[in-house]
């Protein structure tokens, strides 16, 4: 046991509200993310409600998913929304050129997505096609979804089964426009953003939050260029800039590193890689604070999570990977960071919800398993819409590997909507218990849940779905001190009383 770390929660200096959409999810037409993972169709032997898997819907409802981003990702810039409406058996068959080259029969389209979001009670974030679509096509999609008029498109929506317009909460113009979305320069994209957004008019009471495609990793020039060049005129609104960052154990896109059976050095390197997120957030926010001092534009990390080598034997374009205790730590470290920067970060979307990259849920035909990442998201539910509280760590140990170092403890705290104070803790040390002393004041106890295991790559399988699940944790204050023994490689969320 290392000498104790003192955690002080600044209850008198509350920060920003942690927008529940920080807990947003991403679902792309990719591998088994939607087809099989969510949508099996009404005729499937897999138990379903109107085509949606019952087991997956139930698990996601319990997760209180606040927001869904769809249809991509890279897929979004090749998606033509008209292919996915009308009678399902008459829809176009298209090739998913980015993800595995498979046929998408478009059985899951706008109506299916919107109905799914309604089932979950989630807000919607639609990503428009800038790369291969026209402003006319993008504007028509928005009209189809939001118009309550007698227009041909609104009537087409009604004919396809949806009387009332849908509320489109968020809308993005393109995705990764620096890469799969068109290999553009930020200046060129800024011009296109203005061009397209000029024509994206929706009813006054149904205006989505408009998102521009931003940079990734350490890149900041997209943020600067967009803020400098996109004016607030006409319907050209830019209310958020997106940013993507994936955690690769090796930091190398050739060999990412394995999901399981990885060397101990890759436990550390994964933690180190994921914590780089803070630098990227800080550098972009510094530019935003300079050019948007009134904090009008959000910084949305709308893709994040681990990206390992694809599972052997599977289509490498399906990005299917197992999810272990290491992923749970990655989730907790990032969520703690997002809480800290909640003033600017009002949305993030982990990639991706089911069967793709750092998923909440894995399925194999009729079987389903919840991942360690699912459990972390569930433990963190009290943080949705809570008020962030600054946390100070004193004497926290530092871990090193070569010339790199990381803090052993990550923490965040908030006052939840239920009036209680919650504390989230993660111990990145694979070997040592950390003793945490809470500057308790009037505190009597801490109770909640703990997620930990002996193996770094502990995980759930279809055969053993409950190998790694949270366990209850409770500790009482003694002599005015609240001491938490945080096990090696663990995540904990407690309510303080």
Residues 20, 28, 109, 116: which binds ligand AHR (CB under 6 A)?
A: 28
Q: Residue 69 or 344: which CB sits closer to ligand AHR?
A: 69
Residues 22, 342, 351, 389: which binds ligand AHR (CB under 6 A)?
A: 351
Query: φ and ψ at 36, to 5 degrees?
Result: 85, -45
Start-to-end CA span in the chain (Å)? 26
Under the criterion CB under 6 A, does residue 131 sit at the interface with ligand AHR?
no
User: Which residue of the set 28, 36, 78, 176 is catalytic?
Assistant: 176
Under the criterion CB under 6 A, does residue 449 sit at the interface with ligand AHR?
no
Q: What's the min distance (Å) between Cβ of 473 and ligand AHR?
A: 33
Q: Residue 37 or 72: which CB sits closer to ligand AHR?
A: 72
Q: Residue count at the site for ligand AHR (CB under 6 A)? A: 10
Choices 70-78, 288-296, 403-411, 486-494 (CB under 6 A): range interacting with ligand AHR: 70-78
Q: Residue 74 or 376: which CB sits closer to ligand AHR?
A: 74
Under the criterion CB under 6 A, does residue 72 sit at the interface with ligand AHR?
yes
Binders of ligand AHR among residues 155 to 214 (CB under 6 A) are: 175-176
Q: What's the min distance (Å) between Cβ of 176 and ligand AHR?
A: 5
As a whole number of angstroms, the distance between CA 423 and CA 418 comes to: 14
Tell me if 257 sits within 8 A of 250, measured CB to CB: yes
Helix (H, G, I), strand (E, B) or coil at 130: coil
As a whole number of angstroms, the distance between CA 194 and CA 264 comes to: 48
Q: Can you give the C-alpha Rg of the chain in angstroms? A: 22
- Please state whether beta strands 421-427 and 348-351 pair in parallel, antiparallel, or not at all (unpaired): unpaired
Q: What's the min distance (Å) between Cβ of 174 and ligand AHR?
A: 10
Q: Residue 25 or 110: which CB sits closer to ligand AHR?
A: 25
Under the criterion CB under 6 A, does residue 78 sit at the interface with ligand AHR?
no
Q: What's the min distance (Å) between Cβ of 300 and ligand AHR?
A: 13
289-301 burial: b if 16+ Cβ within 10 Å, else e: eeebeeeebbbbb
Of 425, 295, 458, 442, nearest in space to 5 by CA: 425
What DSSP character marks residue 428?
Answer: -
Tell me if 359 sits within 8 A of 2, measured CB to CB: no
119-137 burial: b if 16+ Cβ within 10 Å, else e: ebebbbbbbbbbbebebee
Under the criterion CB under 6 A, does residue 96 sit at the interface with ligand AHR?
no
User: Which residue of the set 303, 311, 312, 449 is catalytic?
Assistant: 303
CA 36 centroid distance within chain:
21
Q: Residue 125 or 166: which CB sits closer to ligand AHR?
A: 125
As a whole number of angstroms, the distance between CA 308 and CA 222 comes to: 27
Residues 34, 60, 74, 362: which binds ligand AHR (CB under 6 A)?
A: 74
Under the criterion CB under 6 A, does residue 303 sit at the interface with ligand AHR?
yes
The closest residue (CB) to ligand AHR is 73
Q: What's the min distance (Å) between Cβ of 307 and ligand AHR?
A: 8
Under the criterion CB under 6 A, does residue 327 sit at the interface with ligand AHR?
no
As a whole number of angstroms, the distance between CA 216 and CA 307 comes to: 15
Choices 66-74, 426-434, 458-466, 487-495 (CB under 6 A): range interacting with ligand AHR: 66-74
Under the criterion CB under 6 A, does residue 386 sit at the interface with ligand AHR?
no
Of 89, 66, 121, 52, nearest in space to 348 by CA: 66
Going from the C-alpha of 214 to that of each of 7, 9, 261, 324, 415, the distances in angstroms are: 35, 34, 35, 30, 31
As a whole number of angstroms, the distance between CA 289 and CA 286 comes to: 5
Choices 71-79, 196-204, 385-393, 435-443 (CB under 6 A): range interacting with ligand AHR: 71-79
Of 166, 173, 59, 40, nearest in space to 108 by CA: 40
Choices 1-9, 69-77, 286-294, 420-428 (CB under 6 A): range interacting with ligand AHR: 69-77
Q: What's the min distance (Å) between Cβ of 219 and ligand AHR?
A: 13
Under the criterion CB under 6 A, does residue 407 sit at the interface with ligand AHR?
no
Query: φ and ψ at 485, to 5 degrees?
Result: -95, 105
Of 491, 489, 426, 461, nearest in space to 323 by CA: 461
Q: What's the min distance (Å) between Cβ of 75 and ligand AHR?
A: 6
Q: Residue 179 or 390: which CB sits closer to ligand AHR?
A: 179
Q: What's the min distance (Å) between Cβ of 192 and ligand AHR?
A: 17
Q: Is 228 a catalytic residue?
A: no
Q: Is 303 a catalytic residue?
A: yes
As a whole number of angstroms, the distance between CA 361 and CA 39 comes to: 14
Tell me if 18 sits within 8 A of 387, measured CB to CB: yes
Residues 352, 371, 452, 460: which binds ligand AHR (CB under 6 A)?
A: 352
Query: φ and ψ at 190, to 5 degrees?
Result: -60, -40
Q: What's the min distance (Å) between Cβ of 106 and ligand AHR?
A: 18
As a whole number of angstroms, the distance between CA 30 and CA 78 comes to: 13
Under the criterion CB under 6 A, does residue 73 sit at the interface with ligand AHR?
yes
Which residue numbers are catalytic?
Answer: 176, 303
Contact set with ligand AHR (CB under 6 A): 28, 72-74, 175-176, 303, 351-352, 357
């Amino acid at each position: 046991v290392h000498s104790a770390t003192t955690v002080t929660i600044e209850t008198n200096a509350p920060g920003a509200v942690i927008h529940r959409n920080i807990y947003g999810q991403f679902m792309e037409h990719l591998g088994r993310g939607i087809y099989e993972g969510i949508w099996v169709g009404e005729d499937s032997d897999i138990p379903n409600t109107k085509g949606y898997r019952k087991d997956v819907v139930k698990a996601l409802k319990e997760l209180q998913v606040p927001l869904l981003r769809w249809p991509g990702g890279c897929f979004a810039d090749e998606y033509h929304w008209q292919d996915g409406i009308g009678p399902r058996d008459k829809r176009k068959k298209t090739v998913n050129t980015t993800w595995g080259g498979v046929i998408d029969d478009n059985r899951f389209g706008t109506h299916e997505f919107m109905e799914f979001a309604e089932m979950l009670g989630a807000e919607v974030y639609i990503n428009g096609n800038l790369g291969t679509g026209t402003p006319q096509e993008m504007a028509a999609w928005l009209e189809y979804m939001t118009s309550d008029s007698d227009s041909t498109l609104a009537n087409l929506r009604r004919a396809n089964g949806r009387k009332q317009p849908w509320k489109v909460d968020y809308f993005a113009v393109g995705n990764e426009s620096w890469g799969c979305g068109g290999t553009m320069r930020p200046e060129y994209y800024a011009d296109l953003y203005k061009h397209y957004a000029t024509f994206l008019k929706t009813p006054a009471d149904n205006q989505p939050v408009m998102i521009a495609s931003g940079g990734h990793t350490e890149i900041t020039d997209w943020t600067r260029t967009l803020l400098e060049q996109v004016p607030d005129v006409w319907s050209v609104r830019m209310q958020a800039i997106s940013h993507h960052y994936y955690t690769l154990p090796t930091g190398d896109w050739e060999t990412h590193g394995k999901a399981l059976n990885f060397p101990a050095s890759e436990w550390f390197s994964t933690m180190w890689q994921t914590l780089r997120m803070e630098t990227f957030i800080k550098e972009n926010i510094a530019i935003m604070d300079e050019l948007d001092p009134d904090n009008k534009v959000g910084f949305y990390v709308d893709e994040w999570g681990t990206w390992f080598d694809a599972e052997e034997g599977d289509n490498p374009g399906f990005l299917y990977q197992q999810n272990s205790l290491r992923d749970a730590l990655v989730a907790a470290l990032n969520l703690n960071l997002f809480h800290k920067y909640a003033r600017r970060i009002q949305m993030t979307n982990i990639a991706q919800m089911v069967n793709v990259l750092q998923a909440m849920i894995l399925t194999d035909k009729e079987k389903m398993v919840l991942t360690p990442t699912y459990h972390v998201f569930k433990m963190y539910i009290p943080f949705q819409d809570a008020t962030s509280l600054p946390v100070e760590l004193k004497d926290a140990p530092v871990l090193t590997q070569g010339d790199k170092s990381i803090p052993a403890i990550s923490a965040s705290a908030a006052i939840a909507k239920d009036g209680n104070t919650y504390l989230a803790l993660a111990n990145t040390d694979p070997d040592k218990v950390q003793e945490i002393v809470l500057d308790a004041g009037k505190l009597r106890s801490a109770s909640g849940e703990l997620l930990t295991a002996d193996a770094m790559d502990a995980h759930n399988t279809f055969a053993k779905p409950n190998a790694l699940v949270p366990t209850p944790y409770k500790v009482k204050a003694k002599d005015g001190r609240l001491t938490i023994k945080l096990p090696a490689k663990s995540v904990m969320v407690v309510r303080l009383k």
